[in-house]
Chain A
Amino acid sequence: MENTIAGYFLEFEPLQYLVQNSSAFFGFDTTALIGFLIFFIFGIVFLGFLATVGGFGTIAERKISADLQARIGPNRVGPYGAFQLIADGIKMLSKEDIMPRSADKFLYYLAPFLSLFGVVCTIAVIPFSGDFIMADLNVGVFYALAISSIVGVGIFLGGYASNSKWSLLGGMRGAAQIISYEIPVTLCIMMIVVLAGGISFGTIIDQQAGMPWNWYIFHNPFTFIGFFIFFISNLAETNRAPFDLPEAESELVSGYHTEYTGIRFGLFALAEYIEIFVVNGIAVSLFLGGYHLPFDFLEGTIPGNLLQFGTFFIKTCVLYYVVIWIRWTFPRLRVDHLMSLCWKYLTPIAIFNLVGVAIWMVCFDGQSMFDLLFSGSSHSGGGH
């Protein structure tokens, strides 16, 4: 049976008591029903959590950019301007909902929801901690990749349906960019799959338990390069600078969401900021050891899970900071340079890495660099 959050909570005494009593009351086995309710509640909890993270992402972006430019940034609402997201949310909800007269009404209304849908569906497999994962699917990583490709459809439709030249150009660029950069991302994930021998997040993370040198980023030189390719490609997939061509302010006004106002624009923005968190979470899980602490402390209990959750959250937030830092540091790429970077550099290097990892697995029997250096006893061939 797959490891799910409902299965974890159903093992506790009070819930088993509840299941027994309700089964006796209703006259049928209510395990599935209670499990469904647990899924429902935690779906809402994780959704609220990610929405809050996305909201604070906008604040973090403005504060960090202000910091990098020696300004103060938003500081009026709440301590250090931390409640600015509430003010922004109320402003967006109360704004006038404008639609261009010649826009395609159906697609125009659908696009932001498709964009958010693709991001939110990935909640199901994000490993927040050992047991706080909605469902540790056997195809977890693959599912996350697949379902997040709906975001590209949303962005493209947003650009198309607005019936404006800037939106259209932005949407086309967005779709082309997302499709192209999926290739290096997938190849980098394949590399980790070859190492771990499975594509569920649980399998991948459990093999990186312990000290940081067990993380897959330090497993061998190919994975070390692979992490940076994965990170760069993720920047492009989430349309972040220096790859923010779909919404390039200086040429396309605002890109695919030029014509959107109010909460529809807000949904696009929220989807973008949540997606950054999600892809960084996947990067942490694949390369940086996921939720694992260096020691087994209270493993399996709720405080232990919260501790693991904190580890995951801190690692992801560090990457989130780097993403924002990059945005305010590097200039934007030209559109043909963007494509040649993907097809002529990242993809070949990723393929080379994949082959390299496969050869490493054969030659060194799956041992990491540190195993080879410090174990001493093993002198398993190769080495030249």
Chain B
Amino acid sequence: MFSDILFLSASALIIGSCVLMMWTKNLMHSCIYLLGVLIGVAGLYLTLGADFVAATQVMVYVGGVVILMLFAIMLTGGKDFQSKTQKILGLLPLMGSKYTFMWGTATAMVFGFCQIYFFRHLFTSLELNETTSNQYAPTVEKLGELLITDHVVAFEISSVLLLGALVGAAIIARPRKERPAFLEPVDDHHHDDHEEDHH
């Protein structure tokens, strides 16, 4: 019963925030509704007994991605964005013109039908109570073991990828000099930072 309540409230949060997110014309508000969606998804993970994944969801998406998106929207002037469309279509959440609306609808319908077609056997054999009422065993230890045994290659590759992203970010963000370092004369001594401080 309790997990049903949790499931229903998480689903309501997700669907409600999703509708509001698509409906609002202010990008900043849209991003805040996205926050609600992401927290709701974390709730769904909890109903499945995946506590570590839920915490990671909040950590990565709420703590990192949403703040990054807020920064990006603010720095690109998202507040002034309003959809400039016709009178009737202006009422709809287009985020563009009627062409994007038509294409978006068509794409959504095609994807929807494909999903229903491919997963049709799930609807007949769906026994929600049996799948969700498993014992809520701790998942952290199992995840840790699997990461360093069966999936060690994937783990290492993704860690190298993240390290590469980190190094790349540091290279992009570093202060640029006038000329590349290898073109500088060999014998000069750089103490740029200290000199600037003394001036």
Contact = CB atoms under 8 A, between A and B. Distances in A.
Nearest to A150: B62
Contacts of B59: 142, 145-146, 149
A153 B28 contact: no
A359 interface: no
Interface stretch (B64-72, B95-103, B108-116, B178-186): B64-72
Contacts of B63: 146, 149-150, 152, 179, 182
A157 B79 CA distance: 13
A370 interface: no
B123 interface: no
Interface string B124-153: 000000000000101110000000000000
Given A139-B51, A152-B67, A146 B62 contact: yes
Nearest to B64: A179
B133 to A, nearest CB: 13
Q: Is the interface of B mostly helix, strand, loop or mixed?
A: helix
A360 interface: no
A104 B28 contact: yes
A106 B29 contact: yes
Contacts of A137: 51
Interface in A182-209: 182, 198-199
A149 B32 contact: no
B32 A110 contact: yes
B36 to A, nearest CB: 11
Contacts of B58: 143, 146-147, 149
A244 B11 CA distance: 39
Among A146, A179, A198, chain B packs the most CB atoms within 10 A around the CB of A146
Contact of B51 (A32, A138, A145): A138
B70 to A, nearest CB: 6
Interface in B22-56: 26, 28-29, 32, 35, 51-52, 55-56
A156 interface: yes
Interface in B60-106: 62-64, 66-67, 70-71, 74, 79
Given A139-B140, A153-B66, A179-B67, A160 B28 contact: yes
Contact of A160 (B1, B51, B70, B139): B70
Contacts of B70: 153, 156-157, 160, 175
A34 interface: no
A317 B180 CA distance: 53
Contact of B28 (A36, A107, A142, A146): A107
A107 B70 CA distance: 12
B118 interface: no
Chain A binding surface, main DSSP class = helix
B124 to A, nearest CB: 30
A107 to B, nearest CB: 6
A32 B63 CA distance: 32
Nearest to B140: A138
B67 A199 contact: no
Interface in A139-180: 139, 142-143, 145-147, 149-150, 152-153, 156-157, 160, 172, 175, 179
Contacts of A153: 35, 62, 66-67, 70
Interface residues of A, number: 28
Listed residue (A138, A143, A179) with the most chain B CB atoms within 10 angstroms of its CB: A138
B60 to A, nearest CB: 8
Contacts of A149: 58-59, 62-64
Contacts of B71: 156, 172, 175
B2 interface: yes
B56 A146 contact: yes
Nearest to B139: A138
A31 B79 CA distance: 50
Contacts of A152: 63, 67
Contacts of B139: 138
B67 A142 contact: no
Contacts of A156: 67, 70-71
A107 B140 contact: no
Contacts of B52: 138-139, 142
Nearest to B63: A149
Contacts of A143: 55, 58
14 contacts: A32-B2, A104-B79, A138-B52, A138-B138, A142-B56, A146-B55, A146-B63, A150-B62, A150-B63, A152-B67, A156-B67, A175-B67, A182-B63, A199-B140
Interface of B: 1-2, 26, 28-29, 32, 35, 51-52, 55-56, 58-59, 62-64, 66-67, 70-71, 74, 79, 136, 138-140
Given A104-B28, A160-B74, A182-B63, 4 more contacts: A32-B2, A104-B79, A146-B58, A160-B70
Interface of A: 2, 32, 36, 104, 106-107, 110, 137-139, 142-143, 145-147, 149-150, 152-153, 156-157, 160, 172, 175, 179, 182, 198-199
**10 tightest A-B CB contacts, nearest first:** A149-B63, A146-B59, A146-B58, A138-B138, A139-B55, A142-B55, A143-B55, A146-B55, A139-B51, A139-B52
